[in-house]
Chains A and B, each alone.
Chain A
Amino acid sequence: MDGNFDLGWWGVWIAIAGGALRVSTPYLFVSLGETLTEKSGRVNLGLEGILVMGAMSGYGVAVLTGEPWLGVLAAGLAGAALGLLHGLICNLPRVNDVAVGISLFIFGTGLAFFLGKPFIQPTAPRLPHLELGAWSSLPQLRAALEVNALFLVGLALVPLLNWGLRNTKWGMILRTVGDSSDAARALGYNVHRVRTLATMAGGFLSGVGGSFLSLYYPGTWNEGLSSGQGLMAVTLVIFARWNPVHCLYVALLFGGATALGPALQTVGITSNYYLYGAAPYALTLALLVYSSSTRHALAGAPSELSINR
């Protein structure tokens, strides 16, 4: 380190931007996954459980095999399995997907804590990152532009999902099922099967989002790893109006809010650290109040969503 230049308030903004790039990854994956699930007309509130389960299984497999990408895959598969469980239970008659989601949340977290006990000590290999700031002589900027590979995967997924929802058979079927199950049935589609697959896909992405927590940032496995990102992602999807591109923007916004406390520390503001740490939760609350006001409620929401009926 050749010493930090004093950048004043610019440093705060750079730190927030860097934090947004770093911390937003789990928000991005979970919200993209939930967008897929909700587009099919079903809500999965168990994302937090899936996230923690993904973090644990990703870490465990990375420790055992020494290969972080295998960990990511394992995290996705664990998430898909939990998604499948959610999907199958919700297919039963008179089952409420909100209630099932909450039990899945508790089940997933509990299972991860139980199975994850042996992995608290060992260290797993971390996921690689790209030094996009290598050109700069400012260490702050270099740190901010250390972009992890998983974020880039998420970034590539955004236009892909956006395009796929509009231009592919699967996208059309998914939207049909989410928007009018009557129409879907009349067209001969199996509504339950589509929703189950969509919940599985959503679980896969959420699990991958979880693996980021244990394999990149903060980069260890412990029981306090997730701080509610999975739950906040549900709000995020509503605010993003079920649009993958908006998911990216909102994920960056949340990432930035999470980085607020540490960023202020860089300019020496250390009082109220925990207050700034609460920024993402305050943001969630504000967005919830905003988007649930009856005036502009939920325009653009899939009509079959149970929060919508």
Chain B
Amino acid sequence: MSLNPPAAVEAAGITKRFGALAALDGVSVRFAPGSFHALLGENGAGKSTLAKCIMGYYRADAGELFIGGRKRTVTNPRQAHRLGLGMVYQHFTLVPNMTVMENLVLGGERLPAVIDWRAERTRLEEFLAAMPFRLGLDRRVAGLAAGEKQKLEILKQLLLGHRFLILDEPTSVLTPSEATEILGLMRRMTDEGKLTVVLITHKLREVEEFAREVTVLRGGRVAGHGPAGDLSHGELVRMMIGREEVSPPAARAGGVRTGAVLELRGLTASSDRGVTAVRGVSLAVGAGEIVGVAGVSGNGQTELVEVLAGQRQEESGSIHVAGGPYLRTREETRKKRVFLLPEEPLRNGCVRSMTVAENLAIRNFDAPENTRWRWFLRRRAILRQAQDLIGRYGIKTQGPNARIEILSGGNVQRTVLARELSAEVSVLIAQNPCTGLDLQAVAEIRNQIIMVRNAGAAVLLLSEDLDEILELSDRIVVMFEGRLVYETLRGEADVQVIGRHMAGRG
């Protein structure tokens, strides 16, 4: 299979509105053939919207698209594919119960009425031989690691002859070594002039390490552009968020005190599909300590947090807090001061249809200060508490009586944070607390977690973002296929070693 050289793609003055909101406002970018071009920006900066306009998923309200110097109108993805443009999505578009070969054939230009598997196999083996990475054709997709699925998505695009590839946040589900491997391979293919790659990302490290050119988007406009090597870290941050630096990280104060506050003993639990997801997890977290659980998503972290939250029944093992068994009743949770920042906070930590004030009072609406004669709520006290927390935690809402579900993701997260951290905390369990938030909010939330730790709480932090684990944890453990497979102290942590264990190759 020959690789035709890619064509230059240029978007000129693209504007896209959703209702009153302009997601893109006159954005112009040129992607030179054979370049590795990063589109950098925070969530909501318009990166994905721009990609979807180029690919024909959205129709731009204004602006033009030039491919190979010729003006083109792309109104649907099929048309974009015919012009050699391809996109690899954040969420995989593979069929889990099929094999690699079936998925590649399915992604092909057109499916024949009856499929000649032997001929397909010969054709695909020939194609794979010319590719920098390989995959077993008969493996089931459900059994592939995230990095392998990403490779399969890329192979699918290359098999179709697409030489202009948009990768939408490709590394969010990968281990660090998988990310380095895949981006390195893509960079090499662009250096050989076989491919143009557009990398949508919010990770500065990826831009600095792999991109040759970078365009920064902020609030739907181009905030900066240039060769990646010429822009400093500070300049990129300033372009991304519009100011020089986010709030500096809070200092870690006080050492870890002895004695476990939170203790898990041989915890085992099944997932919704009946598969054992948590396998004999034993772990102790001391006062004033953050233990970070690293791991690729889907290795049992969610089930573990659900057990700790009382949302899922454990099959064996036990949880102890401050020396006694912890059965996760409401009374115990309050007495032992256990708090929780779950992932998907709107689903796991809020009642969607209730107001911000009501959600802020979920922990203490029945406490003496909020009730009269024990049975009647004092709405005014609840409202006052809400106003206080909204101010202190900077929750952007129309008011305490707005329904929580209309708030943005970051503000839902802040609401839960305000509720969980405003009282005295002995144990804090947090899962992916910063997913989908902008840099400023991320910095604030991480500072809050450090402050809770400094005040003497035991913190269990589960995160798919290894940088976050490394920044916050006093001790790091790695979870793989439901087991804790590796443990190291903050000072001795080696990213390479941790990454290997995350991929199960300890």
Contacts and interface: CB of A to CB of B under 8 A. Distances in A.
Contacts of B96: 179-180, 303
Interface in A159-193: 167-170, 172-173, 175-176, 179-180, 182-183, 186-188
B106 A172 contact: yes
A143 interface: no
B129 to A, nearest CB: 25
Contact of B105 (A172, A180, A297, A303): A172
Contact of A180 (B93, B107, B114): B93
Contact of A297 (B77, B89, B95, B273): B273
B98 A187 contact: no
B93 A188 contact: no
Contacts of A176: 95, 98, 106
Nearest to B77: A188
B20 interface: no
A21 B217 CA distance: 69
B93 A183 contact: yes
A172 B102 contact: yes
Contact of B95 (A167, A170, A179): A179
Q: Is the interface of B mostly helix, strand, loop or mixed?
A: loop
Interface residues of A, number: 25
Contact of A169 (B77, B114, B270): B114
A195 to B, nearest CB: 15
A39 to B, nearest CB: 10
Contact of B78 (A169, A188, A300): A188
Contacts of A187: 93, 106-107
B270 A294 contact: yes
B273 A298 contact: yes
A172 B111 contact: yes
A258 B283 CA distance: 55
Contacts of A297: 273-274
Contacts of A183: 92-95
A94 interface: no
Nearest to A309: B272
Given A167-B117, A187-B106, A295-B274, A302 B93 contact: no
Contacts of B91: 182
Contacts of A170: 113
13 contacts: A167-B114, A169-B111, A169-B112, A169-B115, A170-B113, A180-B93, A186-B93, A187-B106, A188-B77, A296-B274, A297-B274, A298-B273, A303-B97
Interface of A: 167-170, 172-173, 175-176, 179-180, 182-183, 186-188, 293-300, 302-303
Interface of B: 77-78, 89, 91-98, 102, 105-107, 111-115, 117, 270, 273-274
